């Protein structure tokens, strides 16, 4: 099973700042099967990025994804108040799906 590690665990930033979230896999992941989700308290997750770098429908262009192999990054160019949430990366491979432990982006 591929294990995903996310860093940092918590990112404390101010609105308007840039957020860079990392997702590292224990073995190579196909970029086609790497996704990012946002989750706010009491809500279901929301798909942000699929295929490592494609924005889902309705996702603002301040969200971008990049990376390949074992290292992937989610970047939020300028944090808006509604962006403070927990972010998860997720991969599919070898008949199994795994999520990273999440990065919490909170207000500094």
Partner 1 sequence: EVQLVESGGGLAQPGGSLRLSCTASGITFTTYSMSWVRQAPGKGLEWVSYITSGSSTIFYADSVKGRFTISRDNAKKSLYLQMNSLRVEDTAVYYCASWPLSLHAFDIWGQGTMVTVSS
Q: Binding residues for partner 1, per CB under 8 A?
A: 1, 32-33, 35, 37, 39, 44-47, 50-51, 56, 88, 90, 92, 95-102
- Phi, psi dihedrals of residue 82, rounded to the nearest 5°: -80, -5
Q: How many C-beta atoms surround the C-beta of residue 100 within 10 A?
A: 23
Take residue 17 and report the two structure tokens written for it.
């700042």
φ, ψ of residue 99 in degrees (nearest 5):
-110, 150
Which residue do the tokens 């971008």 mark?
64
Rank residues 45 and 62 by Cβ distance to partner 1 and give the closer one: 45
Nearer to partner 1, 16 or 58 (CB): 58
Q: Which is nearer to partner 1, 31 or 77 (CB)?
A: 31
């Amino acid at each position: 099973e591929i294990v995903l590690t996310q860093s940092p665990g918590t990112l404390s930033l101010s609105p308007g700042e840039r957020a860079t979230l990392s997702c590292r896999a224990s073995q190579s992941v196909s970029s086609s099967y790497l996704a990012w989700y946002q989750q706010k308290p009491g809500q279901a997750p929301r798909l942000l990025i699929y295929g490592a770098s494609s924005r889902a429908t309705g996702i603002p262009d301040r969200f971008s994804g990049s990376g390949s192999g074992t290292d992937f990054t989610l970047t939020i160019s300028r944090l808006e108040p509604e962006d403070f949430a927990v972010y998860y990366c997720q991969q599919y491979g070898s008949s199994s799906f795994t999520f990273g432990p999440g990065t919490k982006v909170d207000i500094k």
